[in-house]
Amino acid sequence: MITVNLRPDLKRKRARSPLQGMLEGARGLGTRVKDPLLVASVVSWVAVLAWLGYVVIGTTRELNALEPRLEETRAEHKRFKAFLAEKRHQETIRDSLVAQIGVIRTVDGDRYVWPHLLDEVTKALPAYTWLVDMAFAAPAAPPPAPKTAKAKADAKEDTTAAAPFVSPAVAFNVNGRTVDIQAYTRFLRQLEASPWITDVTPVSAQTVVEKERPVTAFTIRATYRQADSAYIRTVPLSESVR
């Protein structure tokens, strides 16, 4: 095949690779740019934009990853908020019940003092001994104990809590007769052994004549106290009878 060069003054261009063309373009650009500060500023702006894009993409990825945790936390917040509201409601009911129970104990607490006393005195009464009367006696007021700093602090800790009801101290005198002086001393010991009676003190004991027979007339002073819960026996108010 015969090739005719119609332009003999131009040499045939050799085939170049794309990479070589890019390098030559970069060299040509460097020769055309006369201000290096402009190039530096453009490169800086390109780097800043690239960094901002990287930050935005990373932040968006983290936000998308935290969305499920946020929803879960909101659900937990709603659940615990409802739980706390129910707890406050139950505490309000409890405080109301405690206040009502305290009022009932204050009103009804000393109703069964004398039944307990009569029952305990009857159990302690020995043979050949009988009672003449049993009456209330004013207790001796003990001197007030000075309050320590710890007691004052404990009193200020919780003023709303209802304290357990304690029956008031009831001092009483027992007048009786016996034909046996040993029965009198046994009566004293059995009264002291009662969990409901304390401070058993013999006041007087003398021989008198009743119905032409010599007997020992005695007077005993004691104080009622609230027994431990182990000694308290409760029974239902109503029972079915077959």
pLDDT digits 0-9 by tens, 2-23: 666 666 655 555 555 666 666 6
Give the CA distances from residue 37 to residues 33, 34, 43, 44, 223, in Å, rounded to whole numbers and listed in that order.
10, 9, 10, 10, 108
* Domain 113-140+167-229 is found in CATH 3.30.70.2830: yes
For the chain, domain boundaries: 18-108, 113-140+167-229
Distance of alpha carbon 66 from alpha carbon 237, whole angstroms: 63
Helices (H), 109-157: 113-124, 149-157
Task: Indicate the burial class of 191 (C-beta count within 10 angstroms; 0-12, 13-18, 19 or more).
Answer: buried
Which pLDDT score is estimated for 70?
A: 87
The pLDDT score that the predictor gives to residue 159 is: 43
pLDDT at residue 116, as a whole number: 82
> Could you tell me if 156 and 192 are in contact, meaning their C-beta atoms sit under 8 angstroms apart?
no
Provide the pLDDT for residue 124: 92
pLDDT, tens digit, 9 for 90 and up, residues 60-93: 888 888 888 888 888 899 999 999 999 999 999 9
pLDDT band at 167 (very low <50, low <70, confident <90, very high): low
Q: Which of 44-58, 102-116, 174-188, 203-217 bottoms out in mean pLDDT, i.e. has the lowest? A: 102-116
Q: Phi and psi dihedrals of 167, rounded to 5?
A: -65, 140
CB atoms within 10 A of CB 172: 19
The Cα–Cα gap between 74 and 80 comes to: 10
Packed helices 113-124 and 181-192: angle between N→C axes, nearest 10 degrees: 140
* pLDDT of amino acid 219: 94
- Cα–Cα distance for residue pair 86/96, rounded to 1 Å: 15
Each residue of 200-238: pLDDT tens digit? 999 999 999 988 889 999 999 999 888 777 777 766 656
pTM: 0.48
Residue 188 has pLDDT above 90, yes or no: yes
pLDDT for the residue numbered 94: 93
